[in-house]
Amino acid sequence: MMAGNCCPCCPHTTGASVPLKLSDVSLATAEQLWCTSRDQAVKLRMAEMGSGSEAPMTVHQMFLKTVKIYGDLPAVASKKEGQWVTLTWREYYQQCRAAAKSFLKLGLERYHGVGILGFNSPEWFISDIGCILAGGLAAGIYTTNSPEACQYVADNCEANVLVVENHKQLLKILQIKDQLPHLKAIVQYKDELQQKLPNLYTWAEFMKLSEEVSDERLDAVVDSQRANQCCTLIYTSGTTGNPKGVMLSHDNITWTSNAAGAMTGLQHGVECVVSYLPLSHVAAQVNDMWICMRFAGATYFADPDALKGSLGTTLKEVRPTSFLGVPRVWEKMQEKMKAIGAKSSGMKKRVADWAKSIGLQASYSNLVPWGFMLANNLVFKKVRWALGLDRCRNCLTGAAPITKETLEYFMSLSLPLYELYGMSESTGPHTISWENNFKIMSCGKVVVGCQTKLDKPDEDGNGEICFWGRHVFMGYLNEPEKTEEALDQEGWLHSGDLGKHDKDNFLFITGRIKELIITAGGENIPPVPIEDAVKAEIAIISNAMLLGDKLKFLSMMLTLKVTNTTNPGSLLTFDPTLPPYKEPAIYKAIQEGIERVNAKAASNAQRVQKWVILDRDFSISGGELGPTMKLKRGVVVKMFQEKINKIYGMAQE
């Protein structure tokens, strides 16, 4: 901790802070808009005037600005023995400084990683920000990652320190630590250590190390940081291969947080959110940590079993002013409320149905329909209160596409969901919907200060969505070729998505160029490695196609190798009176192979839950394969839509 008046957050400053002047900002020397080395800087996509021309800030400058004005307001809160325990912004800042000094004591080198593997918590935030203040690169790791997937991230960012939540996550690291040449220490922030090992610390032991590092040493590191240098890595999957480390600069984070929050009308010192989505994902990290820092909002951490049922209880306790849910979260709420509604009868059901018709009408119109106030008092207020969303001005959905059915359901309850669109490479949001500025199935309008270009549009106006602005990432760590694929020579970020604008400049996503599957839970899953693994494990499989985009789980359509001379009996015992795709022994062999593939999955979301054998193989003549034998995924989906509907229990349209 800082002694006496040395602490820059101690002065009690009131009123608006003095904005940074562009002439006062020092940037690192940079030659181009992108880089792939951890210690390089980039040119910023500065606008000449208006939004996008603001003076760049480092994370520390943004943090300190909030602390000086709102230091006594709550910053983060978590449950301890059933009671909420809160840190003020001033206490939070001091904790982050202490963590930064502890990282320096452990030997964190400039631009080396600190990997964080655990559920959302104050310690997660403090580790992330402490790493940045100490000059490292913060890198979240998904809690569902396998040891091998953890190893890749830790090795790629040359992690000096790994911070884990508990013994379960620690065991993953202990399996791989000998393959991590840069690793110096491991910190476990929850539960008691089950064994004492060299360079393994409890959270209390870790934080105590800060006493051995001076404020002057930390301040020298902080003062040397520049807004156009890297501070954070977000790991995202491509269609094949290992995840890529998306390099985000201080300016990416500080500018985007301000621009996105201002666009949605956030107010300083009054907002609060519930943190429960994986912080390794850019959407949760920007929403829960960085925007709250910029606007002095309070972040309340949900329990680790939030998505298994406790989230509703947390929402009712916190009553957030803004809530971000992936589509699957909103779908679960919808399913639960519909189940409750199905039990209603008589007058109660008629009133609810009438109110929902009024709510849907109101959401589609700028005019308040007759009867809305009555419906609001009888139904809508009660629903919002029951969900814990009665104070919520921004009910947001993002990270994956959402169905029109779910959107209209919440519109009927006068609880419209505002869609966001972006990617890790755009520091989260590129387009935003907000109150009185949304259209159903649209992702909203571009963040003020950014630009959208539709590349090579067709006759209907559909083109590849390209981004420009200060939210565009620096590059992929150590991946110059992939960086050049994502950023064109002019510096535009190519999303791989197809979209078009309507007459009011709302963006609509119309397709995907990439093959990447985004589940209803928001996880990005490359299909090719899983498909290849299945074919490698099961010799009788000819073609495999993974399904799951916008859906609740992964499934797979399989075809068998069939020739005039093929004898499945050479692989397994079968009943020759049955067609191969109905043979029990074949089913058994495939199920065992799928289980072997699932056992090696990088995360739970990447496991194949269901599969079906098609009665014919894919072919060029059949239309499933192109001239180069490449699988035509869109064509196959249309061909077998009925089977897909059965897999997911969907009604026929």
Tell me the pLDDT tens digit for each residue of 175-192.
999 999 999 999 999 999
pLDDT category at 370 given cuts 50, 70, 90 is confident
Measured between its terminal Cα atoms, the distance across the chain in Å is 63
Q: At 22, is the pLDDT very low, low, confident or very high (cuts 50, 70, 90)?
A: low
The pLDDT, as a whole number, for residue 568 is: 36
pLDDT of residue 569: 34
Examine residue 214 and state whether it is found in any structural domain, yes or no.
no
| Domain-located, residue 625 | yes
Closest-CA residue to 224 (of 21, 468, 27, 435): 27
* Higher per-residue confidence, 134 vs 414: 134
Cα(219)–Cα(276) distance, integer angstroms: 32
Name 29's Cβ contacts closer than 8 Å, sequence gap at least 6.
41
265 dihedral zone (left: phi>0; alpha: psi -120 to 50; beta): left
Most confident of the ranges 3-12, 47-56, 345-354, 526-535? 47-56
pLDDT digits (tens, 9 = 90+) for 584-596: 888 889 999 999 9
pLDDT category of residue 132 using cuts at 50, 70 and 90: very high
Q: What kind and span of H or E run contains 508?
A: strand 507-512
Work out the average pLDDT over 132-147. 94
Q: How confident is the model at residue 338 (pLDDT cuts 50, 70, 90)?
A: confident
372 lies in some domain: no
Is 642 contained in some domain? yes
The domain spanning residue 644 has which CATH number? 3.30.300.30
The percent of residues in the chain predicted with pLDDT above 70, rounded, is 85
State yes or no: pLDDT of 436 exceeds 70: yes
pLDDT band at 366 (very low <50, low <70, confident <90, very high): low
Measure the CA angle with vertex 609, ends 604 and 615; round to 5°. 145
Least confident among 2-11, 168-177, 205-214, 405-414: 2-11
pLDDT range class, residue 21, cuts 50, 70, 90: low
pLDDT band per the 50, 70, 90 thresholds, residue 627: very low
Q: What is the mean pLDDT of the chain?
A: 87
Position 574 pLDDT exceeds 70: no
- Report the distance separating Cα 180 and Cα 169, nearest Å: 16
Nearest to residue 351, comparing CAs of 371, 330, 331?
371
Q: What is the pLDDT of residues 502-541, one digit of tens each?
A: 999 999 988 767 677 888 888 878 787 798 889 888 988 8
Residue 49 falls inside a structural domain: no
**In this model, does residue 566 exceed pLDDT 50?**
no
pLDDT for the residue numbered 336:
81
Instruction: Give the residue numbers spanning the domain of 567.
Output: 526-648
Q: Give me the percent of the chain exceeding a pLDDT of 90.
A: 60
Q: What is the pLDDT of residue 27?
A: 92
Confidence of residue 241 (pLDDT cuts 50, 70, 90): low
The CA-atom distances, in angstroms, between 130 and each of 14, 60, 150, 274 are: 26, 10, 21, 22
Q: Is residue 631 part of a domain?
A: yes
pLDDT at 147: 94
* 383 within domain boundaries: no
Tens digits of per-residue pLDDT, 285-319? 999 999 999 999 999 999 998 888 899 999 999 99
Which of the given ranges, 19-33, 184-198, 404-418, has the highest pLDDT on average?
184-198
Q: In what order do the strands lie in the sheet with 428-432?
A: 322-325, 394-397, 418-423, 428-432, 445-446
With 90 as the cut, is the pLDDT of residue 453 above it? yes
Q: List, for residues 150-168, the tens digit of each pLDDT value.
A: 999 999 999 999 999 999 9
pLDDT of residue 633: 84
Angle at alpha carbon of residue 507, lines to 397 and 395, rounded to 5°: 20
Phi-psi region of 564 (alpha: psi -120 to 50; beta: other; left: phi over 0): alpha
Domain count, the chain: 1
Confidence of residue 344 (pLDDT cuts 50, 70, 90): low
Token pair, residue 82, equals: 């059933």
Q: What is the pLDDT of residue 435?
A: 84
Render pLDDT for 66-110 as a digit per residue (tens, 0 to 9): 999 999 999 999 999 999 999 999 999 999 999 999 999 999 999
Contact 547, 640 (CB under 8 A): no
Residue 15 lies in a domain: no
Q: Please determine, for residue 487, whether its predicted confidence score (pLDDT) is greater than 70.
A: yes
